[in-house]
Amino acid sequence: MKKFNLLSLAVAGMLALCVFGCQKKEAATTADTKQDGISASVKSQISGLGFSTENARKVEGGYLVEGDILLSEANLTEKAETTHLSVASTEQYRTTNLVKALPRVITISVTNLPTVYSDAVNAMITRYNNLGLRFTFQRAAAGTTGQINVIGFNEGPSGGFITLGSSGFPTASGNPYSEIKMNTNPAAYGANPNLLYLTSVLQHEVGHCIGFRHTDYSNRAYSCGGTAVNEGASGVGAILIPGTPSAPDAASFMLACSNGGDRTFNANDVKAINYLYK
């Protein structure tokens, strides 16, 4: 989710798919360290954590992978557990770190973004809070910065990709990732962003902030089309949820790519979130 982003992909004459913020703008090449700014040793660390290095790039604060996931230098050296969360044949994956000190309230603020983004944050909060989890989200008091701060950036398309948004994973101390970046460039959401689509992108990015990976981690071609990318063995391990289906799950809110519409929690997403946080 992941990152939810819009990504234009020409696939066999079909219309372009829309990638979630997780898969926004990515560099066109990855093999050349001079172009992506990432050394071979860092790429090895990224792969060792179970993330694809395809189109990974060096950005402020770390490395952007899978289009919308920010890995910090600290993330690259963290030791992982031996479990992961699996749903269906395309699986729900969690990260090593999860939000701790539950029950708790997590505050969210919006900084210097148009009203529609603020309204989408409110709608996203309602979607999560309706699940009855051991944490609840609420807007931070006016003039204060929340534990998750939603900010804007303006970045046009590059190499056929447009980044919708990005975020990261919980800290080792058990706090949610503290920042979500949303693209305000008209190429991302248009001149008049759709409230429900913004809400779904934010919902996906918050999914990363509380510890969820992309549902189609093992084969992102499932939602994105193109060449199948298997990200290899994951350092986070796996915990299979009993009773989940074996068929591919086409509607998960954490799929790497979207059709650009409103995507919220499906039944398997709810099972996965409840497993961790209810």
The pLDDT, as a whole number, for residue 30 is 36
- According to the model, what pLDDT value does residue 237 have? 34
Give the three-class secondary structure for 93.
coil
Read off the pLDDT of residues 203-256 as tens digits, 9 standing for 90 and up.
999 999 998 887 765 665 566 766 555 444 444 433 445 554 444 567 889 887
End-to-end CA distance of the chain: 21
Distances (CA, A) of 152 to 54, 146, 192, 217, 261: 25, 15, 15, 27, 21
Cβ contacts of 130 within 8 Å, gap of 6 or more: none
Query: Angle at CA 120, nearest 5°, toward 118 and 8?
Result: 115
Length of the chain: 278
| Residue 2 CA: distances (Å) to CA of 18, 29, 138, 173, 217 | 11, 19, 23, 23, 10
The percent of residues above 70 in pLDDT, for the chain, comes to 66
Strand 239-240 versus strand 179-183 pairing type:
unpaired
| Other residues' Cβ atoms within 10 Å of the Cβ of residue 119 | 15
Identify the pLDDT of residue 94: 67
Q: What is the rounded average pLDDT for all residues in the chain?
A: 76
What is the C-alpha separation between 6 and 127, in angstroms, rounded? 22
Distance from C-alpha of 273 to C-alpha of 225, rounded to nearest angstrom: 26
Dist CA 163 CA 196 (whole Å): 18
Q: Are 5 and 157 in contact (CB under 8 A)?
A: no
Kindly give the interhelix angle for 115-129 and 195-209, rounded to the nearest 10 degrees. 60
Element (H, E) at 123: helix 115-129
Which amino acid belongs to residue 254? M
Q: Does residue 62 have a pLDDT over 60?
A: yes
Question: How far is residue 175 from each of residues 109, 111, 137, 170, 182, measured CA to CA in Å?
Answer: 16, 20, 13, 5, 21
User: What domains can you pick out in the chain, each with its CATH number?
Assistant: 40-277 (3.40.390.10)
Q: Tell me: the pLDDT tens digits for 168-206?
A: 999 989 999 999 999 999 999 999 999 999 999 999 999
Peptide bond into 103 cis (omega under 30): yes
